[in-house]
Amino acid sequence: MRSAERGGFTLLEVMVALAISGLLLLGARALLVQVGDAAEQIAGTAAEVDREANAERLLRALVGRAEQPRSGSEFVGTPQGVRFATWCDVPAGWQERCSISLGILRAGGAHVLALQAEGGEVMALRRGLADGHLLYLREPASGGTWQREWSSSVAPPVAIGVVMDGDTVILRLGERG
């Protein structure tokens, strides 16, 4: 008697093939979820870096346009904050005089570098700082040293040093002859 040749697959072979296919699909889905999460994280980090770069650009522009104190105004600075007059861009496309406050605020468990234009809302320029304070640079003719406080109705400092977690951003004030 001759054995019959069989054609096709057994039920066990089909079940093993389906199980392997299912595992492959689950692995591919997990990989795609990880890629999506990584893409979201990269986009969030890029947005944060852009926000910080734009904040520093705004801060440098405002401090760079700082005015010499006029009657009734003065440049007042402490380690926690500074107030001064400058020129602010307005939506109509020109600049108007404004008063700016820049400071290191405590929010939750961290410090925030914040900026507020006169009558405007507070903008967080840099968040999540462990520590921060401001310093003020004297004219070279006066010794060129950094001071922790500044109060003058005559002249502002040469620059403001914003110390954040050990790094210092030096912001030069206004035009100097």
What integer pLDDT is reported at residue 12 of this predicted model?
92
In a domain, 1, yes or no: no
- C-alpha distances in angstroms, 170 versus 9, 44, 52, 56, 96? 76, 27, 15, 11, 25
In a domain, 4, yes or no: no
| The pLDDT of residue 177 is above 50 | no
Number of domains in the chain: 1
Residue whose tokens read 């234009």: 117
In a domain, 5, yes or no: no
In a domain, 138, yes or no: yes
In a domain, 3, yes or no: no
- pLDDT category at 72 given cuts 50, 70, 90 is low
In a domain, 135, yes or no: yes
Distance, in Å, from the CA atom of 32 to the CA atom of 48, rounded to the nearest integer, reads 24
In a domain, 93, yes or no: yes
| The pLDDT of residue 52 is above 90 | no
Mean pLDDT of 57-65: 89
Q: Which domain holds residue 25?
A: 10-177
Q: What are all long-range contacts of 29-37, with beta carbons under 8 Å and residues at least 24 apart?
A: none
Please provide residue 148's backbone torsions phi and psi, each rounded to the nearest 5 degrees: -85, -20
| The pLDDT of residue 40 is above 50 | yes
Distance, in Å, from the CA atom of 132 to the CA atom of 167, rounded to the nearest integer, reads 9
At 104, the amino acid letter reads: I
What integer pLDDT is reported at residue 15 of this predicted model?
94
In a domain, 2, yes or no: no
Distance, in Å, from the CA atom of 82 to the CA atom of 102, rounded to the nearest integer, reads 5
% of the chain exceeding 90 in pLDDT = 35
Average pLDDT value for the chain: 86
pTM above threshold 0.95: no
